[in-house]
């Protein structure tokens, strides 16, 4: 049963990750969080996992209509508008640690006007269903 469930998850899920634009060599990408200038940090250039998941999706974009996105953090305002534009209707996140910031408020406003439902993944289930996607370990369910 678990094997079947995992196969279905793998079949239907599409993953994204924080990364540099494809043509930018990872070894030359500025992964720094702090530098003498913001231009030398990762922040102006990194593409967040939510946006990468949409941009790198190779199927029909109509498949994303009404879909649910699972994220580690509540999406930023930039990803929020892309998710809404892609037709995503539900966001389930593990943490909203930036709640109350301007960026977070803008994301929430975007989701509200675009009828995107947001909910925190239940804390009591977080440990039980945490999925590990380490490259050498495959997919492991902990708990």
Residue numbers of the site for Zn ion (CB under 5 A)? 48, 76, 79
Query: Are the C-beta atoms of residues 143 and 127 closer than 8 Å to each other?
Result: yes
The nearer residue to Zn ion, 81 or 89, going by C-beta atoms, is: 81
Token pair 């102006």 is at which residue? Answer: 44
CB of 46 to Zn ion, least distance (A): 9
**In the complex, minimum distance from the CB of residue 49 to Zn ion, in angstroms, rounded to a whole number:** 8
Q: Are 96 and 102 in contact (CB under 8 A)?
A: no
Which of 48, 104 has the CB closer to Zn ion? 48
* Catalytic residue numbers, as ranges: 50
- Complex with Zn ion: residue 79 or 116, whichever CB lies closer: 79
Task: Name the residue with tokens 């640690």.
Answer: 97
Q: What angle do CA 62, 63, 64 make, to 5 degrees?
A: 90
In DSSP terms, 11 is beta-bridged to none
Q: Least distance to Zn ion from the beta carbon of 80, Å? A: 8
Helix/strand number for the chain, H first, E second: 5, 5
């Amino acid at each position: 049963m678990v094997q079947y469930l995992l196969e279905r998850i793998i079949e239907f899920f599409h993953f994204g990750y924080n990364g540099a634009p494809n043509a930018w060599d990872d070894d030359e990408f500025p992964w720094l969080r702090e530098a003498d200038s913001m231009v030398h940090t990762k922040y102006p250039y990194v593409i967040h996992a939510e946006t990468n998941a949409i941009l790198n999706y190779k199927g029909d974009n109509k498949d994303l209509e009404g879909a649910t996105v699972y994220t580690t953090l509540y999406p930023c305002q930039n990803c929020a508008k892309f998710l809404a534009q892609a037709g995503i209707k539900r966001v389930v996140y593990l943490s909203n640690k930036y709640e109350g910031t301007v960026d977070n408020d803008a994301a929430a406003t975007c989701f509200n006007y675009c009828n995107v439902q947001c909910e925190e993944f239940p804390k009591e289930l977080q440990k039980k269903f945490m999925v590990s996607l380490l490259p050498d370990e495959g997919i492991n369910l902990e708990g």
